[in-house]
Amino acid sequence: MATKNNNLSSYDKTTIPNAKDFRFGIVVSEWNPAITNGMFQGAFDAILDCGGIKENIVRWNVPGSFELVYGCKKMTESYDMLDAVIAIGSVIQGETKHFDYVCEAVSQGIKDLNVQGDIPVIFCVLTDNNMQQAIERSGGKHGNKGTEAAIAAIKMAQLRKDARF
């Protein structure tokens, strides 16, 4: 189902674990800051709405989405008590194939962090054809990808906790 038919900000709190005991890392790309900061706010607000505590959320910034992989890797190494990490980026098609290489590198890199590591890393990276699509998915008419990512982070943190027993 395409995003346009499935609002990114919709969630049912009765189906989401309480986040009060979870600690979250959020790594934010500085490219397209209006978009990435909008997604950060969506994620931050959703974590608090689901019982999370603002003191249990740590934010790091990186220059661009390509650096999200390294930033998330170092965050998981620096804070071993984290329960989930969210990688936030906005990649927008330009004139060249650079878009393709950045998107592929970031998606594969974050996938690798999940396969190789123990802390879930959530893929909150918009890969849009233009700025309007990015605006619509970071708090616009299609909702906020950051909200969706926060809900995924809470659920994956709970899954990791349950998997220990």
Ligand X SMILES: CC(=O)[C@@H](O)COP(=O)(O)O
Ligand Y SMILES: Nc1c(NC[C@H](O)[C@H](O)[C@H](O)CO)[nH]c(=O)[nH]c1=O
Binding site for 5-amino-6-(D-ribitylamino)uracil: which residues?
31, 65-67, 90-92, 123
Of these partners, ligand Y, ligand X, none, which one is at the site of residue 66 (CB under 5 to 8 Å by kind)?
Answer: ligand Y
**Residue 56: closest CA among 28, 33, 84:** 84
User: By C-alpha distance, which of 96, 88, 109 is closest to 38?
Assistant: 88
Q: Look at residue 148 and give the partner it binds from ligand X, ligand Y, none, a contact being a CB closer than 5 to 8 Å depending on partner kind.
A: none
- Rounded to whole angstroms, how far apart are CA atoms 89 and 28? 6
User: How many residues are there in the chain?
Assistant: 165
67 touches, from ligand Y, ligand X, none (C-beta below 5 to 8 Å by class): ligand Y
The three-state secondary structure class of 98 is helix
30 contacts ligand X (rule: CB under 6 A)? no
Residues 13, 98, 111, 161: which is the catalytic one? 98
State the Cα angle at 99 between 43 and 57, rounded to 5°.
20
Structure token digits, residue 125: 């990276």
Under the criterion CB under 6 A, does residue 92 sit at the interface with ligand Y?
Answer: yes
Residue with tokens 């004139």: 95
Q: Does 35 bind ligand Y (CB under 6 A)?
A: no
79 contributes a contact to ligand X by CB under 6 A: no
| Binding-site positions for (2S)-2-hydroxy-3-oxobutyl phosphate | 95-96, 137
Query: Least separation, in Å, of the C-beta of 119 and ligand Y?
Result: 22
Count of residues that bind ligand X according to CB under 6 A: 8
98 catalytic per annotation? yes
Q: Look at the block and give the residue holding tokens 């390294």.
A: 70
Q: What is the DSSP letter of 95?
A: S
Report, as residue numbers or ranges, the catalytic residues: 98
Interacting residues toward ligand Y by CB under 6 A:
29, 31-32, 63-67, 89-92, 102
